[in-house]
Structure 1
Amino acid sequence: MVTEQFDLDETRPRGVRLPRRERRAQLLAAALEVFVAQGYHAAAMDDIAERAGVSKPVLYQHFPGKLELYLAILDAACDSIIANCREALESTQDNKQRVAAAIDAFYAYVGHDTGAFRLVFESDLTNEPAVRGHVDRVTTECAAMIATVIKEDTGLPASASQLLAVSLVGMAQVSARFWLTEAESGLADLTRDQATALVAGLAWRGIRGYPLND
């Protein structure tokens, strides 16, 4: 299940003083919209301040620079994906359903209307070490959780379980992004549930071939 990360109250007039936490959330929501629409390099702090309805000095009171603001959003986005994956794996003890739930977690996140997934999987700043570290954390932590389940249930070595888990994460996020692109262009004739079931079926047919660990 995908949860809202930010809540921008557009009903407040410019200049209204907000509690620091509420103001930070407002700025993050505005910045998310700008970064998703323009990418990191094209986005300007002026654009973000204008979108949030604040002066640029107010924006700099909360974030010393554009990179720090971007990383704050990226951190929340990564935390959300990882939490969704964990929730999916813990939602059932049936391994077939676990596979489907884990894949659906990626489809649900990619399909969410904030577009935050673009900062994680399609960032134009992956050459920045701090950004690369955040992006890699999604694969590393999600794969680690999945690998634990695979190892316990199949008896495969840790390295083999990890490789299968990384492959599953890659398949989930790449296929989800492809499905969304097709859907946005009007070319997709599969609903999200149908797409998830199709990919989950492919993954399960592969994983179930390994012997269970007695």
Structure 2
Amino acid sequence: MAVDPQHAAPAGRGGRLPRTARRAQLLVAAQQVFAENGYHAAAMDDIADRAGVSKPVLYQHFPGKLDLYLAVLDQHIEDLTAGIRRALESTTDNKQRVAATISAYFDFVDREDAPFRLVFESDLTNDPAVRERVDRLEQLCAEAIADVIGEDTGLPRAQSELLGTALTGMAQVTARYWLQCGRAIPREEAERLTGQLSWRGIGGFPKHGEPAGDGA
């Protein structure tokens, strides 16, 4: 789970921290530098300075910049996947599930530490390890939604995964567009509009034994 920058260990060269606390501090600093500069322009010196440690201390925990970047990316993938699963498990009402899933993506995109930049807008997507992680995230989120769709509607797995992919794609692209437009629409309204559009599509697939609805 991501560490809140406000609760990260205070910077200060020479201070000793338990290994897990130091690692968390370094990940917070790395997240900030990578989000601000991208992978290629970020320097290990900048990350060490942001964390308030020497570069040898940084290298004790992460042998290279790519290792550090992947650790931050793994953290964000875990966060978003967990958020999607919580949304799906929060209710048995499918209309509310759709709304909760949309909200989970908006939550992720709207975070102050901008983790979505590393996940969805990375300048390192040509790296096989990064590409594999991003693809895995999209697959995990789509599969989580497909599980619910298949269970409720009885649709074949391939069709359920197609619909899950469509819903996750709409959610993350719309949330990023909303942010890029400077939050011109209040977030609650943006989520409502996106959820309404999504539900009018997915709501057309009835649960077992129920007549097809109009998605209203």
TM-score (norm 1): 0.93
What is the distance in 2 between the residues matched to 1:210 and 1:4? 39
Q: Which residues in structure 2 correspond to 1:54-133 (within 5 Å)?
A: 54-133=53-132
Does the Cα contact within 8 Å between 2:9 and 2:21 map onto a contact in 1?
A: no
Q: Secondary structure at the match of 1:61?
A: helix
Does the Cα contact within 8 Å between 1:147 and 1:164 map onto a contact in 2?
A: yes
> Does residue 1:208 correspond to 2:207, yes or no?
no
What is the distance in 2 between the residues matched to 1:29 and 1:4? 7
Q: Secondary structure at the match of 2:181?
A: helix
2:140 alignment partner in structure 1: 141
Deviates further, 152-161 or 98-107: 152-161
**Which one of 191, 194, 200 corresponds to residue 196 of structure 1?**
191
Deviations 1:44-67 (A, max 9, x none): 111111111111111000000000
Q: 4+ runs of 1 displaced by more than 2 Å?
A: 2-10
Deviation of residue 24 (structure 1)?
A: 0.6
Aligned length in residues = 208
What is the distance in 2 between the residues matched to 1:20 and 1:71? 19
Q: Which has the higher contact order (CA 8 A, sep 6+)?
A: 1
Deviations 1:27-81 (A, max 9, x none): 1110100000000000011111111111111100000000000000000000000
What is the distance in 2 between the residues matched to 1:3 and 1:35? 15
Tell me the percent identity: 59
Does the Cα contact within 8 Å between 2:154 and 2:208 map onto a contact in 1?
A: yes
1:165 alignment partner in structure 2: 164
> Which amino acid is 1:21 matched to?
T
2:214 alignment partner in structure 1: none
1:174 alignment partner in structure 2: 173
Deviation of residue 154 (structure 1)?
A: 1.8
What is the distance in 2 between the residues matched to 1:123 and 1:8? 24
Deviation of residue 8 (structure 1)?
A: 2.4
CA 116–87 in structure 1, closer or farther in 2 if over 3 Å, else same: same
Return 5+ residue gaps in structure 2 as ranges: 210-216
What is the distance in 2 between the residues matched to 1:15 and 1:172? 44
Deviations 1:108-149 (A, max 9, x none): 110011111110000000111111111112111111010111
Deviation of residue 213 (structure 1)?
A: 1.7
